[in-house]
Amino acid sequence: MKRNATLNKLSVKRKSEIFKALGHPTRLQIVEKLAEGEQCVCVLLEMFDIDMSTLSRHLSVLKNAGIVTDERRGKNIFYSLTCPCTLDMFQCLEEVLGDR
C-alpha cells in the first residue's frame, strides 16, 4: 500500500510536469509544429519573436518532460515528438474548449 502510494505520487509528479511543459504558449506552438514532423531549431526560431537562447530553453523544458527528442545532423539539430500520441491530448483539449 505504501509502495503504491509512493509510485502514485511519482506518477502524479511526472504527469504534472508534462502538463506544465505544455503550459506555455511558445512551447505549445512548438509541439503543434512538430506534429507536422521533425523540425530544425532554425525553422522553429522563425516562428517566434524571441531570442535564440530563449527558444533553446523552451526546447530543453520539453525535452526534460520527455515530450520531444533531438538529433543532430551536421550543423543543425532537429527536434521531433517522442510520442505522436501527445497530439491526442490536443484533440481532447479542443473538445474541452468547445464545450464552453
Partner DNA sequence: ACAACATTTGGCTAAAATACAAAATGTTGT
Partner DNA sequence: ACAACATTTTGTATTTTAGCCAAATGTTGT
User: What is d(CA 35, CA 29) in angstroms, rounded to the nearest whole number?
Assistant: 10
Confirm or reject binding of residue 5 to a copy of itself (CB under 8 A): no
Stated length of the chain? 100
Q: In sequence order, what are the residues at sequence separation of 6 or more whose Cβ sits closer than 8 angstroms to the Cβ of residue 22?
A: 28, 31, 67, 89
Of 36, 31, 41, nearest in space to 86 by CA: 31
Whose Cβ is closer to a copy of itself: residue 28's or residue 77's? 28
Tell me which of DNA, a copy of itself, none is bound by residue 47, counting a contact when its beta carbon lies within the kind-specific cut-off of 5 to 8 angstroms: none
Binding mask 14-53 for DNA (x = CB under 7 A): ------x--xx-x-------------xxx--x----xxxx
Whose Cβ is closer to a copy of itself: residue 76's or residue 84's? 84
Minimum CB–partner distance for residue 74 and DNA (Å): 4
Cell of 99: 464545450
Cα radius of gyration (the chain): 15
Which residues of this protein are in contact with a copy of itself, per CB under 8 A? 9, 11-25, 27-29, 66-67, 82-83, 85-86, 88-90, 92-93, 95-97, 99-100
